[in-house]
Structure 1
Amino acid sequence: MLVSFDHMSSFLNFHYDFTETNIIYGVIYLFCLSERLLVSGSSRSISASVGEDVTLNCSVDSHITLQDIEQVSWKKTDEDEEIQVLLYQDNEILPEASDQRYSDRVEFFRDEIPKFNFSLRLKSVRTEDKGVYMCEVLAGGLSANTTVELERLGFSVSHIMVLILCVSASGSALLLCCLIYCRSLHKGFFGQQTYNHQFNLGSSVVLPCHVDECLLKKNLKVEWRKKDSETLVHLYEDGESRAQQDYQDRAHFFTDQIQHGNFSLRLDDLRAEDAGEYICRVYSGLFTVNRTAETSLVPRFNVKGSSGNNMVPLGESVVLLCQVDKSLLENSLKVEWRRADSETLVHLYEDGESRAKKQHKDYQHRAHFITDEIKDGNVSLRLDKVRAEDAGKYTCKVYREQDCVHSADAELEMLGFDVKCHILAPLGSSVVLSSHGQKPLPVEGLKVEWRRTDVDSDSDSDFSDSETLVHLYQNGKSRADKQQQDYQHRAHFFTEEIQHGNFSLRLDDLRAEDEGEYTCTVYSKKKHVISAKTNLILRLLDPVFRLHMSLVFCPNVLMLLAFVLWGVSEGSVSETVCCCALYFLRPLLLLWAAPYIYHFTGKIKSLILKYSYVVEYLALSVVVYSALFTSAWQKLLNYDVFERAMIIVLFVIVFVCCLCKIIYSKYFCDSHLRV
Structure 2
Amino acid sequence: MHYFKSVFFTLIVQGIITAACGDPLKVQAQSGQNVLLKCLGHTHYPIEAVKWLKPDLRSDHYVYFYREKRPVEYYQHEDFVGRVELRDPQMTDGDFSLILKNVTINDTGRYECEISYSNTERVKQAPSKLYCSFDLKVDEDPLKVQAKSGQNVLLKCLGPTHSPIEAVKWMKPDRRSDHYVFFYREKRPVEYYQHEDFVGRVELRDPQMTDGDFSLILKNVTINDTGRYDCEISYSNAKRVKHAPSKLYCSFELKVDEGPEGSGFASILQLEKHLILTVSIATVVILIVF
Where on the TM-score scale, by shorter chain, does this alignment land: which range? Answer: 0.3 to 0.5
Structure with the greater alpha carbon radius of gyration: 1
- Answer 1 or 2: which has greater strand percent: 2
Between the two structures, name the one with larger relative contact order (CA 8 Å, sep ≥ 6).
Answer: 2
TM-score normalised by the chain length of structure 2:
0.41
TM-score normalised by the chain length of structure 1:
0.19
